[in-house]
Amino acid sequence: MEREQEFSVSCPIPLQRYPNITLAHGAGGKLMHGLIEELFLPAFSNPALDARHDSAVLSHGAVNFAFTTDSYVVQPIFFPGGDIGSLAVYGTVNDLAMAGARPWCLSAGFILEEGFPMEALWRVVQSMQQAAEHVGVCIVTGDTKVVDKGKGDGIFINTAGIGVIERDVSLSPQRVQPGDVLLLNGDIGRHGIAVMAVREGIDFETEIESDLAPLSGIVGALLEESPEVHCMRDLTRGGLATALNEIAQTAGVGIEVDENRIPVREDVQGACELLGLDPLYVANEGRFITFAAPSDAERALCVLRAHELGAGASIIGSVTDSSSSRVIIRSAIGVPRILDLLSGEQLPRIC
């Protein structure tokens, strides 16, 4: 056969959109955003929801509240640096903190699978209690359901939280404006790698611990000192890259960051290189970004660094303009490129 004929160019059939939910719909990438934008938001639309903040901000008389909810399905339920119980408390507390709220009370809903060990449940509950005490919130209401064996994954927890916005602050993506300086409170990627290492049975020379931590304290300190903070967002599923894109799109601004200024611990970097993952997309549970007015940026950095959860804080970039809603990252060798949302899950590459 002639080579020319062998090189007949062909292409696969276009894939229809998924008729069923896939795991990628929950991974924080474009598929999940599509689900939210096309299915949930139109159905439930209202001003509090449409603000698309980590918490809904509600007013009653002169009092402003933040209200949020999150479900926790992490596997394994015990991982270096935390467990599903402390995660269920701190995760929701952090969403409240991002609205500038002091966490006040939580609900806890447990979905348990038949056969789940009572001892493990007790450990989880104790961990939740200690976490709640640590941040000064009460778990004031709850619910328990048990499903048939094989219909759950041991334990799922949902928590909802209410916080009180005591200061005269208004934090939201819409307040982000060109010129704002972008701060990050420490190294990224540790939670995701810690969980993945246990899940996949990967051993590293040193154990990588999750960065799981309650952010209400450091946020309180920051707001006390730096009134010109415009927005904060915690970096959970989808990592720093996803949070930056969400803010850029909601605020209608461009964001530029410098890869060399984003701290990644060496062992986390090594694990990412090994697994073919990009730390910019790996989950965190104790990290957040702050958009501060340029006049307040240095002061904000000092406050962050003075707190134990911000010792590794740095200025990683700035808000550029309002023309593109794009995140641009200056690569390690200084060339700019787009930092986009992922489609779905970050898939480890093969070689």
Partner 1 sequence: MRFVDEYRDAKAAEQYARAIARITTKPWTIMEVCGGQTHAIVKFGIDQLLPEGITLVHGPGCPVCVTPVELIDKAIEIAARPEVIFCSFGDMLRVPGSHGDLFAAKAAGADVRIVYAPLDALKIARENPDGQVVFFAIGFETTAPANAAAVYQARQQCIGNFSMLVAHVLIPPAMEAILDSPSNRVQGFLAAGHVCTVMGYTEYEPIAETYAIPIVVTGFEPLDLLQGVFMCVKQLEQGRAEVENQYNRAVRREGNRHAQNLIREVFEVVPRKWRGIGEIPRSGLRLTGPYGEFDAEQRFGVANYAAEEPSECISGLVLQGAKKPHECPAFGTRCTPETPMGAPMVSSEGACAAYYRYRHSAIST
For partner 1, the binding residues (CB under 8 A) are 3-24, 30-31, 34, 200, 202, 260, 266, 269-270, 273, 275-276, 324, 326, 328, 331-338, 340, 342-345, 347-351
CB 170, min distance to partner 1, A: 32
Closer to partner 1 at the Cβ: 145 or 261? 261
CB 13, min distance to partner 1, A: 6
Q: How many CB atoms lie within 10 A of CB 109?
A: 17
Closer to partner 1 at the Cβ: 73 or 164? 73
CB 149, min distance to partner 1, A: 17
CB 267, min distance to partner 1, A: 9
Strands 181-184 and 327-330: unpaired
CB 337, min distance to partner 1, A: 4
Closer to partner 1 at the Cβ: 11 or 118? 11
CB 7, min distance to partner 1, A: 5
Distance separating alpha carbons of residues 67 and 154, to the nearest angstrom = 27
Q: What phi and psi, each to the nearest 5 degrees, are found at residue 297?
A: -65, -45
Closer to partner 1 at the Cβ: 180 or 345? 345
Residue 14, preceding peptide bond in cis (omega within 30° of 0): no
3-state secondary structure of 154: coil
DSSP state of 316: E
3-state secondary structure of 341: coil
Closer to partner 1 at the Cβ: 27 or 215? 27
* CA angle (326, 295, 264) in 5-degree steps: 55
CB 324, min distance to partner 1, A: 7
CB 251, min distance to partner 1, A: 18
Q: What is the DSSP string of 67-82?
A: EEEEEE--SSSEETTE
Site of tokens 């080579």: 3
Distance separating alpha carbons of residues 158 and 310, to the nearest angstrom = 28
Write out the two tokens for 200.
């996949």
Closer to partner 1 at the Cβ: 109 or 270? 270
Closer to partner 1 at the Cβ: 54 or 345? 345
Tell which phi-psi region holds residue 274, choosing left (phi > 0), alpha (psi between -120 and 50) or beta.
alpha
- 281 within 8 A of 142, measured Cβ to Cβ: no
Closer to partner 1 at the Cβ: 118 or 333? 333
CB 3, min distance to partner 1, A: 4
Closest CA to 322 of 253, 267, 230, 233: 253
Distance separating alpha carbons of residues 178 and 176, to the nearest angstrom = 7
Closer to partner 1 at the Cβ: 97 or 341? 341
| CA–centroid distance for 71 within its chain | 13
Q: How many CB atoms lie within 10 A of CB 309?
A: 20
